[in-house]
């Protein structure tokens, strides 16, 4: 009995594209009020002293964006003019990111964030989460530019977007682990059952062998053959020469061995190899 993934009624998409609807079983979007600027109908009760903690401060960020657009994104150590390529591009982006990050942290200072060192829980709005999910469906990792763009679009700090994606990947992996665990459990159950069946069959054969009638009813022994490679002795087709209990063995021609014809008969018909590990587990994670 072969087990396919479809037999497990998996709710997870196994492709790199993750299904939002099936993966986020616990997302309580509909239970959460929306406080973001995207939904202006509601008053943000989670804001601290009039500041919505789910938002990066717009004015501060606009300042930083002005700085960026004003040509500021030169590297702080002013080495970008001599350097080029990926590194330079990344430095440039990260500088932009730092500007936004700094503005965000300025907007939500320690004082505003509780002031006593305690963390305040920041809930993303339904709309923000939906956009993040959509983005995650396309890419489960973000490059700095994508991160900054998404943060700007959602009015969040890049760090928040980054954390969301990290946690989202972790949730996906956890879910996948659960699915894999279930798959392996099924495999184990099937192998156990198969083992039980084979043990029973073996017992029956042994009982038959001990019975004198077994020999009476046995067909004339077939020719014993031995594989020159594995030295396994097995019986070939019945009705050939030889008598009961004959120890005469013929060597399987190498050509026959190469075709594995005699090995095929060794494998019980109903037996089908079951992969111990889903193949998709062995695909290495993609790095950006």
Cα–Cα distances (Å) from 159 to 25, 149, 178, in that order, read 25, 12, 28
Residues 23-42 close enough to bind DNA by CB under 7 A: 24-28, 31-32
Bridge partners, residue 226, by sequence: 233, 251
- Window 63-82: contact mask with DNA (x via CB under 7 A): ----------------x--x
Asked if 151 is part of the footprint of DNA (rule: CB under 7 A), the reply reads no
Asked if 171 is part of the footprint of DNA (rule: CB under 7 A), the reply reads yes
- Window 93-132: contact mask with DNA (x via CB under 7 A): xx--x----------------x---xxxxxxx----x---
Q: Which of 166, 203, 241, 259 binds DNA (CB under 7 A)?
A: 166
Q: Shortest approach of DNA to residue 25 CB, angstroms?
A: 7
CB atoms within 10 A of CB 133: 18
Q: Which of 34, 36, 55, 160 binds DNA (CB under 7 A)?
A: 160
Q: Are 56 and 101 in contact (CB under 8 A)?
A: no
CA-based diameter of the chain, in Å? 101
CB-based burial of residue 180 (10 Å sphere; 0-12 exposed, 13-18 middle, 19+ buried)?
middle
Residue from 64, 38, 35, 39 nearest 48 by CA: 35
Residue from 165, 104, 105 nearest 131 by CA: 165
Task: With contacts defined by CB under 7 A, name the span among 169-177, 202-210, 217-225, 268-276 that binds DNA.
Answer: 169-177
Task: With contacts defined by CB under 7 A, name the span among 89-97, 192-200, 224-232, 234-242 that binds DNA.
Answer: 89-97
Query: Whose Cβ is closer to DNA: residue 132's or residue 227's?
Result: 132
Residues 240-269 close enough to bind DNA by CB under 7 A: none
CA distance 63 to 95: 14
Bridge partners, residue 51, by sequence: 48
Query: Whose Cβ is closer to DNA: residue 172's or residue 236's?
Result: 172
Asked if 206 is part of the footprint of DNA (rule: CB under 7 A), the reply reads no
Query: Whose Cβ is closer to DNA: residue 180's or residue 194's?
Result: 180
CA distance 48 to 126: 20
Q: Are 234 and 261 in contact (CB under 8 A)?
A: no
Q: Shortest approach of DNA to residue 75 CB, angstroms?
A: 10
Task: With contacts defined by CB under 7 A, name the span among 63-71, 83-91, 234-242, 263-271 that binds DNA.
Answer: 83-91
For strands 249-251 and 224-226, give the pairing: parallel
Give the residues lining the site for DNA (CB under 7 A): 24-28, 31-32, 46, 79, 82-88, 90-91, 93-94, 97, 114, 118-124, 129, 141-144, 159-160, 162-171, 173, 285, 287-288
């Amino acid at each position: 009995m072969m087990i396919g993934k479809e037999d497990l009624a998996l709710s997870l998409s196994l492709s790199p594209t993750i299904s939002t609807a099936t993966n986020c079983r616990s997302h309580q979007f509909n239970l959460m009020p929306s406080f973001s600027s995207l939904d202006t109908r509601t008053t943000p009760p989670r804001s601290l002293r009039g500041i919505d903690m789910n938002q990066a401060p717009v004015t501060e960020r606009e300042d930083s964006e002005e700085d960026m657009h004003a040509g500021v994104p030169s590297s702080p150590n002013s080495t970008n003019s001599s350097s080029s390529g990926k590194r330079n591009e990344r430095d440039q982006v990260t500088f932009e990111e730092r500007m936004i990050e700094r503005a965000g942290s300025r907007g939500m200072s320690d004082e505003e964030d509780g002031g006593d060192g305690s963390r305040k829980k920041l809930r993303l709005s339904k709309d923000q989460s939906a956009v993040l999910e959509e983005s995650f469906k396309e890419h489960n990792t973000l490059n700095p530019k994508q991160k900054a763009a998404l943060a700007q679009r959602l009015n969040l700090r890049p760090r928040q977007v980054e954390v969301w994606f990290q946690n989202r990947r972790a949730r996906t992996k956890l879910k996948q682990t659960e699915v894999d665990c279930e798959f392996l459990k099924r495999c184990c159950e099937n192998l156990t059952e198969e083992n039980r069946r084979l043990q029973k069959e073996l017992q029956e054969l042994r009982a038959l062998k001990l019975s004198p009638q077994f020999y009476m009813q046995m067909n004339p022994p077939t020719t014993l053959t031995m594989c020159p490679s594995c030295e396994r002795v097995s019986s070939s087709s019945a009705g050939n020469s030889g008598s009961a209990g004959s120890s005469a063995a013929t060597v399987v021609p190498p050509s026959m061995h190469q075709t594995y014809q005699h090995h095929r008969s060794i494998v019980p018909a109903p037996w089908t190899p079951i992969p111990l590990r889903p193949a998709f587990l062995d695909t290495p994670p993609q790095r950006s």
